[in-house]
Amino acid sequence: MPPQSATAKATLGDRSLFPDLRCTAYLAHAAIAPLSAPVCDRIAEVTHAYAKGGVAGFVEWTPRLREVRKDFAEHISADPREVAFISNTTHGVIDIAFAVPWKKGDRVIVFDGEFPGNITPWQQAAKEFQLELCWHSLEPFERAADEGLAELERALEHGVRLVAVSAVQYKTGLRMPLAEMAALCHRYDAELFVDAIQAVGATPIDVSCGIDYLSTGSHKHLMGAEGAGFLYVADRCAGKCHPRLAGWLSHQDPTEFLIRDKPTLRYDNPLKTSAQVFEIGTTSIIGFAALGASIELLSQFEQGAIHAHVNAYLDALEQGLIARGFSSHRPHTASLRSTLLGVGVPEGVSLTRLSKGLRGRGVICNTPDGLLRFSPHWPNHLDEVPQVLAAVDQALAEIRG
């Protein structure tokens, strides 16, 4: 979505577009990203249009969201027709969990250790449609991609309808081999659903490798605001879906009755046959306009540049933490690495006290399920690492003292 002024220049390791950010190192993009000045400006632009004209703001900005859809589709190598606006990642998981044309007894593979957002909807669908939920461990993938893929194939040989997996595991940062998983799924007539919230925007995703469904939100690595997200449904799958949770905007030409000279309201218009059947009602114009501004910044970087930049940062940080007695859960194989680093704290150290101590020293990170997690992004500079390690030393000394 072209802004009214020239797009701000984004540079790896330069956080000048975040002038209000108050910390030494912001390392919590895997939770909620800070908003850049261009994103804040876009939000102000939209809210001013609504304040000034009410519905006129809606009329002005709704068409401009087409460019946001197009830009995101390009970001994941999809066609815009295959992308729907949704409110958050879990929304997209629920949409697909209740739209697949299930048969009683169909088997769904999920992984122990996944974030609950990619588990609960499948559990609910299993109850509703009498499916068999098959739990698999992530440990074979953590040891080696080939070992994990072999385990997956053995399961697929017994008949599976769908495999649900996160592109990047929220706790350890394990990057799943999605292309290989998609190929295996299709070989055995299964489909692949991907929760991409911990990947898109930092770890490259290409749905053309065979991904059937993908859901993501905007407030983490896409660096937008909460309340906006995307659902990708491959065209080959969209026509087979049963959109049980459809709404009034799910119909073809849903707004015709609002703009014609004569009454044209009817309730039997067919539903859309694309991903956009899942756009069930009014969406967050502000949220998607803001996300459009962030995608404009992300699109300035070459594919893989952010991932490489962040991993150079994590290489240095991981080495320093290990030297201080932390245990790294980062994959040893480079191809299985994302932009997250999860570490176990030294023995006798309270995780929550350490996190609080770091926060008080300007280092913002998270503590998912017993680990200390660091997740930098493109604005983080490698020069921050010594400052982060110094804060760690000070916080440890305070705890031990």
Q: How far apart are CA 19 and CA 16, in angstroms?
A: 6
Q: Is residue 11 part of a domain?
A: no
Amino acid at 396: L
Q: Is residue 285 part of a domain?
A: yes
**Range of the structural domain that residue 67 is part of:** 57-298
Q: What is the pLDDT of residue 316?
A: 98
Q: Is residue 10 part of a domain?
A: no
Amino acid at 297: L
Q: Kindly state whether residues 233 and 210 are assigned to the same domain.
A: yes
Q: What's the structural domain count of the chain?
A: 2
Q: Is residue 16 part of a domain?
A: no
pLDDT at 339 exceeding the cut of 90: yes
Q: Is residue 116 part of a domain?
A: yes
Q: What is the pLDDT of residue 7?
A: 74
Q: For strand 107-112 and strand 132-137, is the pairing parallel, antiparallel, or unpaired?
A: parallel
- CATH code of 234's domain: 3.40.640.10
pLDDT tens-digit series, residues 280-321: 998 999 999 999 999 999 999 999 999 999 999 999 999 999
Q: Is residue 39 part of a domain?
A: no
Q: Is residue 253 part of a domain?
A: yes
Q: Do residues 148 and 141 make contact, with C-beta atoms less than 8 angstroms apart?
A: yes
For the beta sheet containing 107-112, the strands, ordered from the edge strand earlier in sequence to the opposite edge, are 83-86, 229-233, 213-217, 191-195, 162-166, 107-112, 132-137
Q: Kindly state whether residues 182 and 314 are assigned to the same domain.
A: no
pLDDT at 401 exceeding the cut of 90: no
pLDDT at 1 exceeding the cut of 60: no
pLDDT at 3 exceeding the cut of 80: no
pLDDT tens-digit series, residues 100-148: 999 999 999 999 999 999 999 999 999 999 999 999 999 999 999 999 9
Q: How far apart are CA 194 and CA 164, in angstroms?
A: 6
Domain boundary among 298, 328, 355: 298
Lowest pLDDT segment from 174-188, 247-261, 329-343: 247-261
Domain boundary among 263, 281, 298: 298
Q: Do residues 193 and 162 make contact, with C-beta atoms less than 8 angstroms apart?
A: yes
Domain boundary among 272, 298, 324: 298
Q: What is the pLDDT of residue 2?
A: 40
Q: Kindly state whether residues 258 and 307 are assigned to the same domain.
A: no
- CATH code of 359's domain: 3.90.1150.10
Q: Kindly state whether residues 271 and 312 are assigned to the same domain.
A: no
Q: Kindly state whether residues 281 and 157 are assigned to the same domain.
A: yes
The pLDDT-based confidence of 6 (bands split at 50, 70, 90) is low
- What is the arithmetic mean of pLDDT over 254-263? 89
Express as a percent the part of the chain with pLDDT over 90: 94
CA 212 to chain centre: 16
- What is the arithmetic mean of pLDDT over 330-354? 97
Q: Is residue 4 part of a domain?
A: no
Express as a percent the part of the chain with pLDDT over 70: 99
Q: What is the pLDDT of residue 259?
A: 87
Q: Kindly state whether residues 241 and 327 are assigned to the same domain.
A: no
Q: Kindly state whether residues 221 and 365 are assigned to the same domain.
A: no
Q: Kindly state whether residues 221 and 127 are assigned to the same domain.
A: yes
Q: Kindly state whether residues 176 and 256 are assigned to the same domain.
A: yes
Q: What is the pLDDT of residue 258?
A: 87
Q: Kindly state whether residues 311 and 288 are assigned to the same domain.
A: no
SS3 72: helix
pLDDT tens-digit series, residues 35-56: 999 999 999 999 999 999 999 9
pLDDT tens-digit series, residues 172-192: 999 999 999 999 999 999 999
The rounded mean pLDDT for the chain is: 96
Name the token pair of 336.
């299985």
pLDDT at 70 exceeding the cut of 80: yes
Residues 6+ apart with CB under 8 A from 322: 328
Q: Kindly state whether residues 245 and 378 are assigned to the same domain.
A: no
The length of the chain in residues reads: 401
Q: Kindly state whether residues 150 and 103 are assigned to the same domain.
A: yes
Residues 6+ apart with CB under 8 A from 261: none
Q: What is the pLDDT of residue 255?
A: 87
- What is the arithmetic mean of pLDDT over 211-229? 97
Q: What is the pLDDT of residue 200?
A: 98
